[in-house]
Chain A
Amino acid sequence: MIISVFAVTVLWATVLAQFPSHRNVPLRRAVWYTMVLLAAIGTLNLPAIGTRLDAATGLPNLADVAQHVLAIATATLGRYCAEQVLGAVRPRTRWSRQLQTALPTATVAALLVLFALSPARTHPIDTALYTDFPMQYAAHPGVFAYWLILAVYLGTTFALIGRLAWRYGRRAGRTPLGCGLVLIAAGMVAGLCYLGYGTSVVAARAAGVGGSFISTSPAIIQGLFGALIVLVAVGSFLPASGYCPLIRRVAAYWSLRQLYPLWAGLCQAVPGIALDPVPAWADRIDPRDLQVRLYRRVIEIRDGYMALIPVDVPGIEDLVRAASGPHELSAADRATLAAATQLELARRAELRGDPRLSAGAGLPRANREFLAGDDLDSEVRLLRTVATNWTTVTRTAERVERDRLTVG
């Protein structure tokens, strides 16, 4: 019950927060309506609401049927959104367009007919033991068929959206959109688990199985349903969360702190780059002007890079790959870390007072990747890659220095 209330609260909060800022975009509107329908399903799923609806209308299990019909509508809308996102990649034929309308209509009609023929139309369920009427009346063939139709329809939609969200979420990388899509994919997996587990409970009931498997099922089903709702709500909210001033401030503070060691190290070697050198404690406690301070941090790191003029180290990317350990880096991240290692070597040389050569007119590939930031966000993302993989950078730098000593 607590999980359900929490999940529904989160879902309504994100629905309200996402009230379409650009209502003239049909795709955005469709996604928002999908979220509204999902929130309505979650609300009807709350026992306090569902039982009241049943009592008010005098129809037992009406709330369950309403949830299932809404779920078909939500899945259809979700499927439509997924296909719109894929866009020209899969052009729709006239036949498939007709099928898109006919299939959900036929599914809803079948569910309503099967419900009307089932004992659930006149007999309420034991809410202490069952979350949905198909679980109590699974022995009735019509109810069993009802559940299978529902599970297949929702399951194919969950699988389609989950696959799409996972694939493109991973391609979008560590951006809010990438994280949001991966969370939606996780929500779809929770939905598939919900359907799979629900089907096994319905099948067990149809076979006359009882005991702890059945008695523990309501908590598990509610947990999976709650996970589905929360993951989809958070995943759909995350990409646009950057428009929220509070979230932007928190993100700016977090980035500022992450970039502090890199910046402080460069300031130690080239003190002139800092317009306002601050100790770590002052940087940590100061909540003012976060955006300007983050901007300054990036610019001063860039100034440090230009002042030190890192020298190209042959084979540096292979050394980075070796130092990164078991986790695989993308080609872009490897090039970024290679350039950061060259910068770290130049910084160490400067602190030691070593004479160094200029990198010359042509920039090595690694440095080109490192200098790709078009705006503050892309710069911060690039430099955060360095900050989060600092161990790899220092390990590679130490290896290069060791090799140089050996050669020397």
Chain B
Amino acid sequence: MNLLSLNRVRRRCRARLRQLTLPDPFDLTELCRSVSISRGQPLHVRGIPGPSSRGRPCGIWIATDDDDWIFVDQQTSPLHRQHIVLHELAHMLCGHAAGDLPENDMLRRLFPDLSPAMVRTVLSRTSYQSEPEREAEVLASLILARAQPNTVPIMPVTDVSAEETEILRRAGLALGVEP
């Protein structure tokens, strides 16, 4: 990948990020609502049905005349799922649109009853070969990296009872961890 091209994309995304009004604290559902309002049509986020398979995109945005649909692979971590949704939202924020509709098989599986004529845009997150994919990926990364809480974690991942969790929360509070 051309480094100069990636740097150009980064600069463009940073400039775009400065113009964006993001929910504070960051809330993906709230951002989806705001994008939906600005596009003037409902936005739906769903899991991709069926098991993962090789080459299947982990995120897809399908725009029809009446709705926007984002499909996300469920078999990954919550942060990764958020990132995938945000990648598709970034396509919308950047005003990307597909020239052709290459995802016909996937489209038929997701919308068996939908006429291909009704579909305006299909974009899927598979690789970063094209500039729109790179741009969406960089913008999603900048938004979510900035949205991470500026704190340190105080809880272990698992294996702690609710009572111990409460004691640890109070211990963290006592030692200056933000409530």
Spell out A's residues near B (CB within 8 Å): 18, 20-22, 25, 27-28, 30-31, 81, 84-89, 168, 171-178, 180-181, 236, 238-243, 248, 272, 275-277, 291-292, 294-296, 298-299, 302-303, 305-307, 309, 330-332, 358-361, 363, 367, 369, 371-379, 381-382
Q: A241-B152, A292-B145 are in contact. List 6 more A-B contacts (CB 8 A).
A: A27-B173, A27-B174, A306-B52, A358-B52, A358-B54, A372-B157
Most interface-central of B54, B142, B171, B173 (chain A CB within 10 A)? B171
Instruction: Note all chain B residues with C-beta closer than 8 A to A243.
Output: 150-152, 176, 178
Q: Are B149 and A375 in contact (CB under 8 A)?
A: yes
Q: Are A172 and B154 in contact (CB under 8 A)?
A: yes
> CB within 8 Å of A: which of B162-179?
163-164, 166-168, 170-179
Question: Does any Cβ of A come within 8 Å of B80's Cβ?
Answer: yes
C-alpha gap A393/B79 in the complex (Å):
24
Instruction: Note all chain B residues with C-beta closer than 8 A to A30.
Output: 174
Instruction: Note all chain A residues with C-beta closer than 8 A to B155.
Output: 172, 175
A interface SS class:
helix
Q: Are B157 and A28 in contact (CB under 8 A)?
A: no
Contacts A331-B159, A358-B52 hold; do A239 and B152 have CB atoms under 8 A apart? yes
B interface SS class:
loop
Contacts A291-B145, A302-B80 hold; do A85 and B153 have CB atoms under 8 A apart? no
Q: Are A240 and B78 in contact (CB under 8 A)?
A: no
Most interface-central of A28, A177, A291 (chain B CB within 10 A)? A177
C-alpha gap A277/B173 in the complex (Å):
40
Q: Are A306 and B73 in contact (CB under 8 A)?
A: yes
Q: Are A168 and B80 in contact (CB under 8 A)?
A: no
Q: Are B171 and A25 in contact (CB under 8 A)?
A: no
Instruction: Note all chain B residues with C-beta closer than 8 A to A242.
Output: 151-152
Instruction: Note all chain A residues with C-beta closer than 8 A to B149.
Output: 375, 377
C-alpha gap A310/B51 in the complex (Å):
13
Question: Could you show 10 A-B contacts with beta carbons less than 8 Å apart?
Answer: A20-B176, A172-B168, A240-B175, A241-B152, A243-B176, A275-B6, A276-B3, A307-B54, A372-B158, A374-B77
Q: Are A22 and B175 in contact (CB under 8 A)?
A: no
C-alpha gap A373/B168 in the complex (Å):
20
Question: Does any Cβ of A come within 8 Å of B58's Cβ?
Answer: yes
C-alpha gap A363/B75 in the complex (Å):
8
C-alpha gap A373/B80 in the complex (Å):
9
- The answer, among A20, A86, A295, for a CB contact under 8 Å with B145, is A295
Closest 6 CB pairs of A and B: A242-B152, A240-B176, A173-B156, A295-B145, A361-B51, A302-B80
Question: Does any Cβ of A come within 8 Å of B15's Cβ?
Answer: no
Distance from B138 Cβ to chain A, minimum over Cβ atoms (Å): 7
Distance from A195 Cβ to chain B, minimum over Cβ atoms (Å): 24
Q: Are B1 and A276 in contact (CB under 8 A)?
A: yes
Distance from B168 Cβ to chain A, minimum over Cβ atoms (Å): 5
- Nearest residue, chain A, Cβ from B9: A275
Q: Are B178 and A377 in contact (CB under 8 A)?
A: no
Contacts A25-B173, A243-B178, A306-B58 hold; do A371 and B156 have CB atoms under 8 A apart? no
- The answer, among A21, A86, A240, A305, for a CB contact under 8 Å with B76, is A305
C-alpha gap A376/B155 in the complex (Å):
14
Question: Does any Cβ of A come within 8 Å of B144's Cβ?
Answer: yes
Q: Are B174 and A295 in contact (CB under 8 A)?
A: no
C-alpha gap A222/B170 in the complex (Å):
33
- Nearest residue, chain A, Cβ from B133: A275
- Nearest residue, chain B, Cβ from A362: B51
Q: Are A272 and B128 in contact (CB under 8 A)?
A: yes
Question: Does any Cβ of A come within 8 Å of B83's Cβ?
Answer: yes
- The answer, among A87, A309, A374, for a CB contact under 8 Å with B166, is A87
Question: Does any Cβ of A come within 8 Å of B134's Cβ?
Answer: yes
- The answer, among B53, B159, B175, for a CB contact under 8 Å with A332, is B159
